[in-house]
Structure 1
Amino acid sequence: MPWYAAITGLLLAIFLILKKMNPVYSLFLGAIIGCLLGGASLSDTVNILVAGTQSIMGTAIRVLAAGMLAGVMMESGAAESIAHAIVKKLGANKALLSLALSTMIITAVGVFIPVAVLIVAPIALSVGRQTGIGKLALLTALSGGGKAGNIISPNPNTIAAANGFKLDLSSVMIAGFIPAVCGLITAVVIASLIKKKGIMVQDSDIEERKEKQLMPLNKALIAPVLSIVLLLINPIGTMLHIQVLTNLKIDAMYILPFASIVGTIAMGHIHQIRDYSKAGLYRVTDTVLILIGAGAIAGLISVSDLSKQVVHLISVSGISGTFLAPISGILMGLAVGSTSTAVILATGSFGNAILATGTAPLAAAVMVHTGATVIDSVPQGNYFHITANSMHMSIKERMKVIPYEFCVGGVMTIVATVLYGFILK
């Protein structure tokens, strides 16, 4: 199938998403139009879409597994307990660091980034009122920390990056650590420089909330720590050349639900496990549906010569093929306003072309992943509006945060590209 049919289908899908049409139907419609434009019959079109959607089922199952851990962390109060502990430990003198670190850690242990910001936002507003730090700096710290945590978490975006390049989830999480630390530092430095800019926190921004008993930190950490330790068994075995650990083949598909159940039992909330899992499933349903739609587009692209044409274009232009990975993540993030959707589309649409340039799968995964964080907080995405509401900011005020978020994502992408695209190539 000609490359222009695949490009037309992808662009049509993105256009419809920007026009607020349901993303799943947008992706399906783009795939159908692309197939027909490329000369496929109606029956062939159906076969292409079905084959494409079947190819993402492994990712979808792992995303559903991640939803259970997220549900436990959010609904049990474990995530809130972790956030309070970090802020209390670091104190008011290191307010911006504590806020950024809180969202980073909460996101890193499996809570989705919009929810992480929602959890920490009330604490941030209270701290901002006491210390005189403006909302612009507060949200920069929260969002920057969340972005850093998001690239080392067992969240849908990391799962999509790993499965898109046929890698272990733990490998992608570990590879994102250095870029994540650089992102955290960038967020804290930028927030510190602008802490007196923008609108200050008002008394009306702080909601009157009843003091509630927070879960002990040692109980709150059981589920996330267990899941991360188990996921690290394979990489540790590989690094230490311990064959038994290497051969265990630990997978997020069963590790994340297992850690969630153990954590729930340890919290003494076993009777709430059904409610927690239901809440987690609700949170990942949209992502799984988008995965299915993205699979349809991936099916279209897989039967086209788009990958060959992209590789040829790169070789003719003289540009290093390494840059295709971060650029694809950046463009998809800008188009759809969602890190997870951007990674799904970038790996499905350009994955083969990226690998064909000679880029290693792990390097490709990390560069696409970090690239998707650069400018994914645009108004067409839910994250923009959720974070604006959580900080009681107008659309105009929220727009002012985007350049600072761009810097955080940009630094992580540059670090990942230099480190994995050139130094460790």
Structure 2
Amino acid sequence: MDGTLHWWAALIGLALAIVLILRKLNATYALLLGALVGCLLGGASFADTVNIVVSGSQSVMGTVLRVLAAGVLAGVMMESGAAERISRAIVSTMGDKLAIFALAFATMIICAIGVFIPVAVLIVAPIAIEVGSKLHISKLALLVALSGGGKAGNIISPNPNAIAAASGFHVELADVMVGSFVPALCGLAMAVLLASIMQHRSTPVSLKDLDAQEKAELAESDLPSLHSALVAPVTAVVLLMLGPIGSMTHVAWLEHLQIDALYILPFAAIVGLLAMRKGSHVLEYTKSGIGRMVDVVMILIGAGTIGGLISASDLPQRIVDLINMMGVSGSLLAPISGILMAAATASTSTGVILAAGSFGDTILSFGTAPAAAAITMQAGATVIDALPQGNYFHVTAKSMNMTIGERMKVVPFEAAVGLTMTVVATLLTIVW
């Protein structure tokens, strides 16, 4: 193709995709249609449009493979009962006095070991309802604790959002996880603080809300032991940390031991499966894991097509010129783009995928370090991602037997947790 597409055509294509997502069209088709329309409006021929879209989708294949690999670990942790065993152990160990912290921390840990945040909330919600009904804690406070803790765990996990952030800026997944650790702790602290303030306000939870759950819990006897449940996540974390540990300690062979998450996550899952003596379920658990990743993979492909459109246009240069003219620090583009894209799609993962694919090169052109961009973008995507047009809003409302009105009251508290992590992540990356 000769020449560059018009910037306004790229914006129209992106806006069209977002509007169609809000209108409940399948996100992959919405993104693909937006990319096609943007290319054609921008001056590309039919043949050039296909080339741009295909090239864009090819650019996300590395991320796709890593997300599929993460599905193995997620399937094993969820289907084996390992995640539920870990959450029960945390809550029972900390007792009633630290109930809110225990619930938030349990959800954080479940997310951090690779379980999707809505699934993590569903796992911990029945425990939260039982504890909350005994201590007369409100539904609002419980969901603030669970959702806030989940957000904190989500940015330090091998989940699709972290993988997309790392792959989008060509940094190690472990670097994103480690760099997000302090912001995650601050987010957890904010979630616990807000939940504690609201624990006796709003509608109290009762055991009747537990009866409304449709989640089929495993019997206690079917759950693995705590030690065996921890094998998979501990193995994954240790292997992912080898590179960063080598860099910090200047141990040459560790520093050059670059084992990708593509290898580590499935390997850790299989080791954990064998430790739990559930090796015979490997086909069942991996099938479940990959099934949970299908939607993410399809969105990744769609986001790649939009990224191809933007890369082929002069929109990135226009954004650079605008930011320079306004005198705003270019380092703020990463968290801002994460906030906006996650708000538009009502999804942390989709927001990161779309923001990294669309604005990644522009962000780096300001001299922002790739790791800093990945960390702050991912944190930004947790600010206003829990909106009604997304599944997370409704899944978590159902987990606490909330009405839409009750669930909407939680959104500002979730935004406060996400904003806390974003501000801390941005300040830390500036200092570094």
State the Cα deviation string for residues 244-272 of structure 1 (Å, max 9, x = none). 11222111101100111111011000000
Instruction: Report the Cα offset of residue 353 of structure 1.
Output: 1.1
State the Cα deviation string for residues 277-332 of structure 1 (Å, max 9, x = none). 00100111000000000000011111111111101000001111111111100001
Map of 1:74-113 to 2, 5 A cutoff? 74-113=78-117
Counterpart among 242, 245, 252 of residue 243 in structure 1: 252
1:379 matched residue in structure 2: 388
User: What is the CA–CA distance in structure 2 between the aligned matches of 1:246 and 1:49, rounded to whole Å?
Assistant: 37
2:398 matched residue in structure 1: 389
Contact 2:171–2:370, Cα closer than 8 Å, also in 1: yes
1:143 aligns with 2:152: no
1:188 matched residue in structure 2: 192
State the Cα deviation string for residues 110-151 of structure 1 (Å, max 9, x = none). 001000000000000000000010000000000000000000
Instruction: Report the Cα offset of residue 212 of structure 1.
Output: 2.4
User: What is the CA–CA distance in structure 1 between the aligned matches of 2:166 and 2:139, rounded to whole Å?
Assistant: 35
User: What is the CA–CA distance in structure 1 between the aligned matches of 2:371 and 2:328, rounded to whole Å?
Assistant: 21
User: What is the CA–CA distance in structure 2 between the aligned matches of 1:377 and 1:174, rounded to whole Å?
Assistant: 24
2:366 matched residue in structure 1: 357
1:2 aligns with 2:2: no
User: What is the CA–CA distance in structure 2 between the aligned matches of 1:240 and 1:390, rounded to whole Å?
Assistant: 44
Letter in 2 for 1:33: V
State the Cα deviation string for residues 140-173 of structure 1 (Å, max 9, x = none). 0000000000000000000000000000000000
Unaligned 5+ runs, structure 1: none
Unaligned 5+ runs, structure 2: none
Instruction: Report the Cα offset of residue 210 of structure 1.
Output: 8.3
User: What is the CA–CA distance in structure 2 between the aligned matches of 1:300 and 1:18, rounded to whole Å?
Assistant: 20
Runs of 4+ deviating beyond 2 Å: 206-212
2:239 matched residue in structure 1: 230
Contact 2:166–2:172, Cα closer than 8 Å, also in 1: yes
Matched-pair identity in %: 60
State the Cα deviation string for residues 163-222 of structure 1 (Å, max 9, x = none). 000000000000000000000000000000000111111231123978522321100000
1:116 matched residue in structure 2: 120
State the Cα deviation string for residues 66-119 of structure 1 (Å, max 9, x = none). 011000000000000000000011001100000000000000010010000000
Letter in 2 for 1:164: G
Letter in 2 for 1:354: I
Using a 3 Å threshold, how does the CA distance of structure 1 residues 75 and 146 change in structure 2: closer, same or farther? same
User: What is the CA–CA distance in structure 2 between the aligned matches of 1:218 and 1:111, rounded to whole Å?
Assistant: 18
Instruction: Report the Cα offset of residue 11 of structure 1.
Output: 0.5
User: What is the CA–CA distance in structure 1 between the aligned matches of 2:34 and 2:189, rounded to whole Å?
Assistant: 40
Letter in 2 for 1:364: A
2:350 matched residue in structure 1: 341
Contact 2:81–2:218, Cα closer than 8 Å, also in 1: no
User: What is the CA–CA distance in structure 2 between the aligned matches of 1:404 and 1:332, rounded to whole Å?
Assistant: 19
SS at match of 2:220: coil
User: What is the CA–CA distance in structure 2 between the aligned matches of 1:51 and 1:79, rounded to whole Å?
Assistant: 38
User: What is the CA–CA distance in structure 2 between the aligned matches of 1:354 and 1:105, rounded to whole Å?
Assistant: 31
User: What is the CA–CA distance in structure 1 between the aligned matches of 2:250 and 2:92, rounded to whole Å?
Assistant: 41
Task: Return the TM-score normalized by structure 1.
Answer: 0.98
Counterpart among 273, 285, 309 of residue 300 in structure 1: 309
2:378 matched residue in structure 1: 369
Aligned residues: 423
Letter in 2 for 1:278: K
Deviates more, 1:195-204 or 1:7-16: 195-204
State the Cα deviation string for residues 371-395 of structure 1 (Å, max 9, x = none). 0000000001110011011111111
1:212 aligns with 2:220: yes
Letter in 2 for 1:236: I
Contact 2:145–2:192, Cα closer than 8 Å, also in 1: yes
